[in-house]
Structure 1
Amino acid sequence: MDAMLAFPLKTMDFEKEAEFAPGVSGEWMPITNGKNTAFSLEPPAPRHSGHSQKIRIASDDRCYAGIAQRVSVRGGIRYEAKLFARATREIESLRLAIVDRITGKTLGEAEVAIESHDWREYKTEIRVSAASADAEFRLTISSEEKTWKDSISTGALWLDHVSLLPEDHVGLVKPDVFEMTKRLNAGMMRLGGNYISAYHWRQGVGPAYERPNVMNEAWDHQADKYFGTIEFLEFCERLGVEPLICVNDGSGTPEEAAEWIRYCNADAETDPLGALRASHGRVEPFRAKYWEIGNEVWGPWQVGHCDAEEYAHRLVAFAKGMKAVDPELVLLGCGHTDDAWNRTVLDIAGEHIDYLTMHIYQHYSTYGYPGRDAAERAPAEEKFRAIVSYPEVSRYAIRQAADAIRSSEKARHVKLAITEYNTMYYPNTIRQGLPNEHTLEAAVANAANLNEMIRSCDIVEIGSFSDLVNGWLGGCIRVGDNYADQKKGRVPGWSGKGDLVYGTPTYYALELFANADIARVVEHELSCDTFDAPKHAWGVPTDGLPTLDVVCCISRDGRKLTALVVNRSLEDVDAELRANGFEAAPGAVVREIAGDRIDLVNDVFEPEAVVSRRFEAATEGSGALSLRLKAHSIYAVELTAAQ
């Protein structure tokens, strides 16, 4: 989540212990030319968490001292600097400066008058004259001009919560990230995953600097407290999407979930929790409708992990408590690709939920490649066939879950929500280097899987790609040069392009599908070559799979017919498309995602190596055209009805 936010600074609340220098928190570094300067971490300001950073200088040293952090900044804009500080009476001012580390040039500066020995909030603006990918933000005090008699309480400054925020942020989000997200034309945005596993909503509301610093217990790192409930829901509002909020069922309670709903949706004048929301700056209710109860509860990496029966009874308690607040809520229960789990949950709790969730990832291990060595020894063509058979894997899991729904008297109204999907070549424990999830091959697999979800739209009504930005695996929007997973790789910023925002090939596949003018699936006939994929551990049929994965759809007004075609071959395919029964105007609009290698990626040096390309193709007669489909490629072919 940090990558999507516009703050250039880390450890803004001095929440980390000393890492790089004694007495200095996290990524901050000491700067001083005094022999007796002392740095230490002390208790935070009232209602704050983390630490306060103390800096003490001696008058006799006639020195300067402070802390600094490496940042990347953009030029020609203003940054708001916010901090909490207190000081002994000799320290009357604090200098803030952004300096280019290569040239030493000061790009922007400001001075803050420190008014009290007690804690105060200070704000100022710094106008940055030029961009720098390798800058340093410095906060310094000085005894170079004013002198005093050194004693036990002189020359000291305490800092708590130091932040920078560019003026063009969009609800704390980087503007480029927001614009790229908007282009995805999403219908829903999910706040879920392991992030929510031990999340308590009160930790993410109110003034950001008063929110506690907490660990994400599932991922074992600091949770980001700046993007809480209101920030997420207003992000969804700006995008025009429905929010989906996943509640903590492991260490949370039904009462806590019900209170969260009231905080989001209740009237500010009649409900105390609605009034609390209003006091935090949001008067109008959000009317958040979709709520998911638990995330991957079947997995031992989750807080509150349990078996299906225990979860199902827990689900009933949560559903009753939440619907007591608002009977119109749409509730999602935690499903699995395991049939026994789903049947147990549906039999016990099916009448209380509207959707059963599943997470379907496509990875090597189910194709007989248990580890990295085995996968690397396998031929590239064989592994390609495995990964691009993603729709067959999803079809197997979806049909199995649909059968469980149909066979449960209590749950025949339930639909499926695929709340996480993506390629996942290797598990976290053995992944290293550049993730395969960023490749054109992954985009081809994900696009074919999108076709399968469209084909299954009678039962699958929600699909949520994981992740949006950077993330644990293969976020479709990338910020900077952090290509590897969260455990390994170079320190972000190594390329000098640490703020560049761009999309993976899968981003362009998602954009292509999301912006296609489609409303209903129409039947089609397909004749093409086939291929055999390696055997799958679940017993998924993998022989005789069509090289072309195709779905055809028509727009709501019936005037546009679109064929979504994925070439799952390593060779070009000459295709003929004919639209029988659709009187088409001359010409077709074609959108293409292709590249000359399956391992082609976008990166900070070539961020548009793989993008969506639009061109027009000639037709013969009414809706007939010939088209060369490039190897390992994705197409949307759109015909428009004749006038």
Structure 2
Amino acid sequence: MEYPPLRDHASQIGRTRLPPIRTYSLLALVSASLFAVSLSSAQMSESAPLPAGRPIAIRVSRPQTPQEIAPTLFSSFLEPIGHSTYGGLWADVVVNPSFEEGLWSAENLEEQWNADPDLRAASSLGLPTPWKPLDFAEGSRYAPIRGDAANSAQSMLLMPLPEKEVGIREQVYLPAARELQYHGSIWLKRIDGPAQVRLSLRRSSRPAEVLAETVLTASSAGWNPYEFHLALKPDTLASLEPADFAISLEGNSRVLIDNVSLFPDDAVDGMDPEVIALARALHSPLVRFGGNFTSAYDWHDGVGPADKRVSMLNLAWGIPEYNTFGTDEFLRFCALIHAQPQIALNLGTGRTDQAAAWVRYVNAHWGDGKGGLTWELGNELWGSYQVGYPAPAQAARLTAANSEAVHGVDPAAHLIATGGDGGLFHDWNAQMLTDDAKDFEYLSSHFIVNEGVLLPNASDDFRTMAMLAVPWGLSGRIDAMRQQAVAAHRPDLKFAFTEWLMITDSHTVPNYSNLGGAIFAGGFLNTMMRHADTVSIADMTGILEFGGIWKKRGQVYPSPAYWVLRSYAQAGPHFLLRVQDDSPTYSIAKGLVQLPDVAHAPYLDVVAALSEDQSKLILFCVNRSLTRPEQATLDLSAIGEASGMAGITTIQGNGILDENNAYAPDRISGVKHTEAIRSGGTYTFPNASITVMEIPMHAH
């Protein structure tokens, strides 16, 4: 067919809409009219459909001005939140290892007590959550001792009875399916008698059933560390079955215990090997270490000997921060997965000299020591929930002071200033673009999308389609952000989406955990690539939890969105190409609060790119239609001639609510196959799917 001259849409770089062909059948026109009427109350409308049986036409060509796609668009994000570090990446299975109080907010503590009433009962005996008595019938034979501790503020005194074992336990999940050997350490101080301390793994809530054990002799009246080893027998624990880790005494002895750990023997520098493998496979060029916790974090707490690091409350999230995963561990994680660190500095409670010292420390412990890393100047400083947030008029000066401090230590450092989110950015960014804060290369934006819509009583279908359209609508906001920077005489300023995520509380619409969240992820990355001249960094929330890797009940598994980020990054797009198509579209009015109006979101959303050596054409195809597979004709003749078999990765499920979990960790994944793809041929993209095509090409 004949194509019109290419037309550029400023809001969608690299994509041009082909005009619809005006030869619709009467049946198609009637159907379209009825559909528009049926959706009029729902504030969603569709373009006229293609004639029955005619595929979407897609043409790929080279743009007049080459545009490179930064690999850092496929980066990720790590924050101590939920079980992303402790209970996730960090392989120590012990919770509250130094028996501290005040490590959870009242809300989070109450949630644990409601889920397990025994924890509430244990607290009345002086046991800090989540420790319980080995046997409640033993009565009160435990006492927290403040001011005499090997670590942090408190230790635990165990007081057995003659010929009766007294101890404490907590429920743990062990990776017994892959590892039966475990090692740990504990600090002991003998108070009275020949203290024979028994460490054991037992059947959960059945303390008489010992699965593995060892005995240590606390021989010193002072604090000393002791190492131990526990070995399970094969098939002792079923998949996803918990165990109890117990510490106990017998006889007439008394002992103080503190700072206990338990790692599987296959841990890699303290980290879970399955998590490491999945994280490495993401090919994330950058991993951001930041988030709300940043604004109250003192990096000094997370360096030095692990036994001396103090447990404290993570103020942002009301959960424990043990500081055993600190700067050195984060840098080691980055090295293990072949990523560069991107660290957010504390502009809440922090000082400029602390920021400079952290930069100096990281540079000395990373790579060749020459620095030049990427640093983020604060996190969401515009939010009143952020510890120590500045007034808008102070933010530029605060940014400038920290910029000067960082560049005083490392002139080659790349700096990201805190910008406004993708919805409300203008007034905040105007402050950041004044002369008071000009020493940075990037301005950040966060795009955390929830299900809130303006339309009362909106149906799940409407909310779903509005959520899936939002990445397309984000283009207009990116253009406005760029125009504001140009008007402020910063034409070279780039933007960094240092957090992005789809998150809801509902189980009936897209969420980071389900296939709908994966379709959102594909649409978002497509938008980032189309704006590669403006956006250089995008960090998915997160490399653990949310859109990334999960660990529950000891089972490690990826979310559907993980497979999208992994497939995009592995494909290695480098040069953005121009795409023409005539995909049917839909428009949303009174949709999500962040972006209520989105016009002409294509059902089949396609981005094309060449690999760095230009030997491979890559198509990133997102089908937003929940029920309709989309057939398309691919015209690749302007690029060259396809050679060899194309590698095709497809991410799909039985519906947008499909998700992976501990019981079905591989329900949705990136399924690969090979197929001959030729210019002029057709391909059918499954409904509600993401497809990445890697087509070997001979250039003309």
- TM-superposed deviation, 1:228: 0.4
Query: What residue identity is the alignment partner of 1:575?
Result: A
**Aligned with 2:213: secondary structure?**
strand
Determine the C-alpha separation between the residues in 1 that align with 2:509 and 2:94. Answer: 26
Deviation at 1:142, TM superposition (A): 0.9
Q: Give the alignment partner of residue 257 of structure 2, picking from 134, 159, 162.
A: 159
* 1:256 Cα deviation from its structure 2 partner: 0.8
Aligned to 2:447: 360
> Of 279, 290, 297, which residue of structure 2 is paired with 1:199?
297
CA distance 1:303–1:33, shift in 2 (3 Å):
closer
Residue 642 of structure 1 deviates from its aligned partner by 4.0
Give the SS at the match of 2:186.
strand
**1:572 is matched with which residue?**
629
Distance, in Å, in 1 between the alignment partners of 2:167 and 2:473 is: 57
8 Å Cα contact 1:390/1:446 also seen in 2: no
Moved more, 313-322 or 382-391: 382-391
TM-score by length of 2: 0.79
By how many angstroms is 1:437 displaced? 2.2
The answer (yes or no) to whether the contact 2:356–2:406 under 8 Å persists in 1 is yes
Shift of residue 286, structure 1, vs aligned partner: 8.3
Cα deviations by residue, 1:20-69 (Å, 9 ceiling, x for unpaired): 411212111122598676211002555621310001134xx332211111
Q: 1:523 aligns with which of 563, 575, 578?
A: 578
Which amino acid in 2 is paired with 1:195? Answer: F
Q: Matched residues in 2 for 1:188 and 1:15: separation? A: 34
Alignment match, 2:59? none
Looking at structure 1, the residues matched to 538 and 614 of structure 2 have their Cα atoms a distance apart, in angstroms, of 24
Separation in 1, partners of 2:175, 2:573: 40
Is the 1:593–1:634 Cα contact (8 Å) retained in structure 2?
yes
**Cα separation, partners in 2 of 1:284 and 1:78, compared to 1, 3 Å:** farther
Structure 1 pair 62–619 and aligned structure 2 pair: CA distance change class (3 A): closer
**CA distance in 1 between partners of 2:205 and 2:250 (Å):** 24
Structure 2 CA distance for partners of 1:629 and 1:44, relative to 1, 3 Å:
farther
Q: Is the 8 A contact 1:65 1:140 kept in 2?
A: yes
Which deviates more from structure 2 when the two are superposed, residues 202-211 or residues 433-442? 433-442
Determine the C-alpha separation between the residues in 1 that align with 2:285 and 2:138: 59
Aligned counterparts, 1:399-548, within 5 A = 399-409=479-489, 411-425=490-504, 436-470=511-545, 474-480=546-552, 498-536=553-591, 537=593, 541-548=597-604
- Do structure 1's residue 314 and structure 2's residue 394 form an aligned pair? no
How much does 1:579 deviate? 0.5
Residues 1:618 and 1:111: Cα distance change in structure 2 (over 3 Å)? same
**Contact between 2:352 and 2:401, CA under 8 Å: does it hold in 1?**
yes
2:245 counterpart of 1:119:
no
Give how far 1:259 is off: 1.0
Matched pairs, number: 583
When structure 1 is superposed on structure 2, of 573-582 and 235-244 the one drifting more is 573-582
Q: How does 1:255-270 map to 2 (within 5 A)?
A: 255-266=353-364
Mapping for residues 107-256 of structure 1, pairs under 5 Å: 107-130=211-234, 131-132=236-237, 133-143=241-251, 155-256=253-354
- 1:157 counterpart letter in structure 2: V
Structure 1 residues 118, 594: CA separation in 2 closer, same or farther (over 3 Å shift)? same
- SS where residue 515 of structure 1 aligns? helix
Distance 1:565 1:234, change over 3 A: same
Mean Cα displacement is larger for which, 166-175 or 42-51? Answer: 42-51
Matched, 1:299 2:402: no
Q: Structure 1 residue 290 and structure 2 residue 361: aligned?
A: no
Alpha-carbon distance between aligned partners in 2 of 1:378 and 1:593, rounded to the nearest angstrom: 28
Q: Does 1:69 align with 2:170?
A: yes
2:603–2:623 CA contact under 8 A, matched in 1: yes
What's the CA shift for 1:389? 1.1
1:477 maps to a residue whose letter is I
1:334 to 418, 441, 454: 418
Report 1:383-402 matches (<5 A): 383-402=463-482
Q: Report what 2:132 is aligned to.
A: 29
What is the identity, as a one-letter code, of the residue corresponding to 1:249? L
User: When the two structures are superposed, what TM-score results if normalisation uses the length of structure 1?
Assistant: 0.86
Change (3 A) 1:394 1:593: same
Distance 2:508 2:698 in 1: 51
For 1:596, the equivalent position in structure 2 comes to 654
Would the alpha carbon gap of residues 394 and 33 (structure 1) be closer, same or farther in structure 2, given more than 3 Å must change? closer
User: Structure 2 vs 1, CA of residues 400 and 45 (structure 1 numbering), >3 Å: closer, same or farther?
Assistant: farther
1:77 CA drift (Å): 3.1
How far, CA to CA, are the matches of 1:231 and 1:220 in structure 2? 22
What is the Cα deviation at residue 105 of structure 1?
A: 4.3
SS in 2 for 1:420: strand
Match of residue 676, structure 2, among 618, 631, 637: 618
Look up the SS of the partner of 1:265 in the other structure.
helix
Question: C-alpha displacement at 1:618, in angstroms?
Answer: 3.0
Moved more, 384-393 or 156-165: 384-393
Q: Aligned with 2:438: secondary structure?
A: helix
State which of 561, 570, 591 in structure 1 corresponds to 2:617: 561
Distance 1:264 1:412 in 2: 31
Give the secondary structure class of the aligned counterpart of 2:501: strand
Shift of 1:134: 2.2
Distance between the aligned counterparts of 2:141 and 2:572, measured in 1? Answer: 64
Q: Distance in 1 between matches of 2:368 and 2:166?
A: 46
- C-alpha separation between the residues in 2 aligned to 1:285 and 1:197? 26
Distance 1:283 1:14 in 2: 37
Q: Quote the offset at 1:248 in angstroms.
A: 0.8
Q: Secondary structure at the match of 1:532?
A: strand
Tell me if the contact between 2:195 and 2:255 (Cα under 8 Å) persists in the aligned partners: no
Map of 1:486 onto structure 2: none
Q: 1:434 to 1:442 in 2, by over 3 A?
A: closer
Q: What's the CA shift for 1:343?
A: 1.6
Q: Secondary structure at the match of 2:96?
A: coil
2:97 match = 12
The structural deviation recorded for 1:284 is 7.6
CA deviations 1:375-421 (Å, max 9, x no partner) are: xx422321121011122232122112111211122x33321110000
- Counterpart CA distance in 2 for 1:564 and 1:361 is 22
Sort the Cα spacing of 1:36 and 1:13 in 2 relative to 1 into closer, same or farther, 3 A. closer
Q: Tell me the distance in 1 between the aligned counterparts of 2:681 and 2:265.
A: 50
Range that drifts further, 25-34 or 628-637? 25-34
Q: 2: distance between equivalents of 1:265 and 1:208?
A: 21
CA distance in 2, matches of 1:198, 1:116: 38
2:72 corresponds to: none
Letter in 2 for 1:396: G
Q: Is the 8 A contact 1:518 1:562 kept in 2?
A: yes
Contact 1:313/1:348, CA 8 A, preserved across alignment: no
Give, in whole Å, the separation in 2 of the partners of 1:360 and 1:529: 26
CA separation in 2, counterparts of 1:32 and 1:456?
Answer: 61
Question: Which of 356, 377, 381 is the equivalent residue of 2:461?
Answer: 381
Alpha-carbon offset, residue 291 of structure 1: 0.9
The residue aligned with 2:22 is none
Residue identity in the other structure for 2:486: R
Q: Aligned equivalents of 2:299 and 2:570: distance in 1?
A: 34
- Take 1:182 and 1:12, find their aligned partners in 2: how far apart are those partners? 29
Question: Equivalents in 2 of 1:637, 1:195: separation in Å?
Answer: 39
Give the partner amino acid of 1:167.
Answer: D
Higher relative contact order (CA 8 A, sep 6+): 2
* TM-aligned CA deviation for residue 214 of structure 1: 2.0
Q: Secondary structure at the match of 1:638?
A: strand
Structure 2, unmatched stretches of 5+, are 1-84, 103-118
Q: Is the 8 A contact 2:677 2:695 kept in 1?
A: no
